[in-house]
Structure 1
Amino acid sequence: MPRSPRSPLLLAGLMAAAGVTHFVTPRPYDMIVPKSLPGTPRTWTYASGAVELALAAGLLAPRTRRTAALATAALFVGVFPANVKMAVDWRHRPAPLKAAAIGRLPLQVPLVLWARSVAKNAEGQS
């Protein structure tokens, strides 16, 4: 990702938007929570939405940006199993939905790299 001063703000916006959708429309997220996780899918949906909102706030503040960006990269890695589950579950859906589910998998790589870039560029800030 380019070293734009807006990059942390854009990443924060992405995280905030994703976090809000976990509360506004939780059902699609419930459906991709791996069954191996304890508790109810809705609990995981709400918890991950809250984490995304907290990370968005952390990305906005220069003092917490580096830590929040690294945690965001870790979150992108951590949700990968849910994206795999979605791709497997949607393999028999219509082509556009199947393509969207499969397309999410490689998208995680640039998201992780973007968050790491924000973290690296935040090192000199305080």
Structure 2
Amino acid sequence: MKRQWGVWGLAAVFVGAGALHLLRPSVFDSIVPRWVAPGVFPSARSVTLLSGVAELAGGLGLLFPRSRRAAGWGLAALLVAVFPANVEMARTPERFGLPAWVLWVRLPLQPLLVWWALWAGQGGWRQGAGRVSRGRSGPA
């Protein structure tokens, strides 16, 4: 049961974050690095909305065993993809009204979130999952 709380907790984090991206996109538009939009994407708003949908889908996907593995990998990839936005925030704290130290401290937390997403994608690494049997194999 403890493992499920870890999966559900991460699902709640991403569903909440995704909902915020969709309900208050202007808060997140300024975080999008200028080289991403316009550039790779047509606008910061398109990046905000796309990441919000991805967070919602990944968070909800963690709740269902059939989609959990894909959701975990997808969320891990999303966390890697948004890392440049976190670096941009740390480099230009005056744009966001947050203390610079807060923005720098959160950067090393990103790998922990990636690990959590991969862990949750495995269903909290159920005990015994992926173990190789030490018994005899094949016909006796």
- Sort the TM-score into its range (normalised by shorter chain): 0.7 to 0.9
Unpaired segments ≥5 residues, structure 1:
none
Q: Following the alignment from structure 2 to structure 1, what is the Cα–Cα distance between the partners of residues 96 and 68?
A: 39
Matched residues in 1 for 2:55 and 2:80: separation? Answer: 13
> After superposition, where does 1:54-69 map in structure 2 within 5 Å?
54-69=57-72
* Ranges in structure 2 where 5+ consecutive residues have no aligned partner: 130-140
Residue number in structure 2 paired with 1:111: 113
Which has a greater percent of helix? 1
Q: Structure 1 residue 93: deviation in Å?
A: 7.3
**Counterpart residue identity of residue 110, structure 2:** Q
Residue 13 of structure 1 and its aligned partner are, at CA, apart by 0.3
Q: Could you say which structure has the larger radius of gyration?
A: 2
Cα separation, 2, equivalents of 1:75 and 1:16:
14
**DSSP-derived class of the 1:6 partner:** helix
SS of residue paired to 1:32? coil
Match of 2:14 in 1: 15
* Matched residue, 2:34: 35
Q: 1:41–1:93: structure 2 CA closer, same or farther, 3 Å change rule?
A: closer
* 1:72 aligned partner, one-letter code: L
* Pair 1:56–1:63, CA change in 2 (3 A): same
Match for 1:48: what amino acid? Answer: S
Among 72, 76, 80, the residue aligned to 2:79: 76
Deviation at 1:120, TM superposition (A): 3.1
Task: Determine the C-alpha separation between the residues in 1 that align with 2:43 and 2:66.
Answer: 35
- CA-atom RMSD in angstroms: 2.2
Q: Percent identity?
A: 38
Contact 2:4–2:124 (CA<8 Å) still a contact in 1?
Answer: no
CA distance in structure 2 between the partners assigned to 1:98 and 1:23 by the alignment: 26
Instruction: Provide the rounded CA distance (Å) in 2 between the counterparts of 1:74 and 1:89.
Output: 24
Aligned length: 122
TM-score normalised by the chain length of structure 2? 0.77
TM-score by length of 1: 0.85
Q: Does the C-alpha gap of structure 1 residues 122 and 93 become closer, same or farther in structure 2, counting only changes over 3 Å?
A: closer
